[in-house]
Amino acid sequence: MFYRDIVYCPLTAADCGFLGLSLEGTNGNFVLSRAQSAGVYAPEPGPAVEAAGFPVAGLSFDGGLLTDGAYPAVSRDGVVYLPLTWNAVTALGWSMTFDSDGLSVVTE
Q: What is the pLDDT of residues 78-98, one digit of tens each?
A: 889 999 998 899 999 999 998
Q: Which amino acid is it at 51?
A: A
Using a pLDDT cut of 70, give the percent of the chain over it: 88
**Which one-letter DSSP state was computed for residue 44?**
P
Backbone angles phi, psi at 83, to 5 degrees: -75, 130
Q: Model confidence at 42, in pLDDT bands (50, 70, 90)?
A: low
16: enclosing H helix or E strand: helix 13-19
Percent of the chain at pLDDT exceeding 90:
22
How big is the CA angle at 96 (ends 93 and 101), to the nearest 5 degrees?
Answer: 155
* Cα-based angle 46, 95, 9 (whole degrees, multiple of 5): 15
Tell me the per-residue pLDDT of 56-68, one tens digit each, with 9 for 90 and over.
888 999 888 888 7
H or E element in which residue 86 lies = helix 86-91
On the question of pLDDT at 49 being above 80, the answer is no
Distance (Å, whole) CA 55 – CA 29: 10
